[in-house]
């Protein structure tokens, strides 16, 4: 057994070998291991030798069409990597480990030469989930006016930038810059 009773587990996690226990609610067998099919609290029943997942108070799993808030961890020419923090409308932060990406074709819904022009490391984005391959490989889109950067991190001084009266991004340090902005820029202030 890799876990203790009551541990919080994520979908796909190995719980124990199939010889030790039998799978019960929200668990399945793969390659000789019992794995979690849902996120939630692990329930180990040593009397009946079963393992199951209690998902009653677990935060909901990310699904296609969810809106998420995340921060940009890496910007490449063709795609941007995002660590997902929250599903919009859910109070609790996600437990851990959700990662996504925005491909250049999903950034603005139009041709763009490089993602470096639209996003920078540290930016906070609101995006829509368009594919869930694994918890660490979730495809996101910002190709709508309501989606994109909601807080832009200044590349000069690492402060968050403000929109000026001309709707241009400007930092206290004097730096001006450009992003794929959301209409909600400045929203969801923590």
Rounded Cα–Cα distance for residues 2 and 20 (Å) = 11
Interface with Zn ion (CB under 5 A), residue from 75, 127, 154, 169: 154
Exposure of 114 in the CB half-sphere (CA atoms within 13 A): 7
Q: Is residue 48 a contact residue for Zn ion (CB under 5 A)?
A: no
Stretch of 35-43, 98-106, 117-125, 163-171 contacting Zn ion, by CB under 5 A: 163-171
**Under rule CB under 5 A, residue 173 binds Zn ion:** yes
Question: Looking at 3-11, 27-35, 107-115, 167-175, which segment touches Zn ion (CB under 5 A)?
Answer: 167-175
Name the H helices within 18-158: none
Does the protein bind Zn ion through residue 169 (CB under 5 A)?
no
Nearer to Zn ion, 115 or 169 (CB): 169
In sequence order, the β-bridge partners of residue 22 are 50
Q: Contact between 157 and Zn ion (CB under 5 A)? A: yes
Name 18's Cβ contacts closer than 8 Å, sequence gap at least 6: 29, 32, 33, 34
Q: CA-to-CA distance for 106 and 23, rounded, in angstroms? A: 40
> Which residues are at the interface with Zn ion (CB under 5 A)?
154, 156-157, 159, 171, 173, 175
């Amino acid at each position: 057994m890799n876990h203790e009773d009551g541990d919080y587990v994520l979908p796909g996690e190995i719980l124990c070998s199939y010889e030790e226990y039998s799978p019960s609610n929200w668990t399945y067998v793969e390659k000789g291991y019992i794995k979690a099919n849902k996120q939630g609290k692990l329930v180990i029943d040593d009397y009946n030798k079963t393992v199951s997942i209690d998902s009653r108070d677990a935060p909901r799993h990310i699904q296609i069409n969810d809106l998420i808030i995340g921060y940009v961890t890496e910007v490449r020419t063709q795609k941007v990597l995002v660590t997902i923090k929250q599903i919009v409308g859910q109070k609790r932060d996600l437990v851990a480990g959700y990662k996504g990406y925005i491909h250049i074709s999903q950034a603005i819904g139009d041709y763009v030469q490089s993602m470096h022009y639209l996003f920078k490391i540290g930016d906070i984005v609101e995006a829509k989930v368009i594919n869930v391959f694994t918890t660490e490989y979730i495809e996101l889109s910002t190709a709508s006016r309501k989606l994109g950067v909601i807080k832009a991190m200044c590349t000069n001084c690492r402060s968050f930038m403000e929109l000026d009266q001309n709707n241009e991004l400007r930092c206290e340090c004097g730096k001006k810059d450009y992003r794929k902005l959301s209409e909600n820029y400045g929203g969801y202030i923590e």
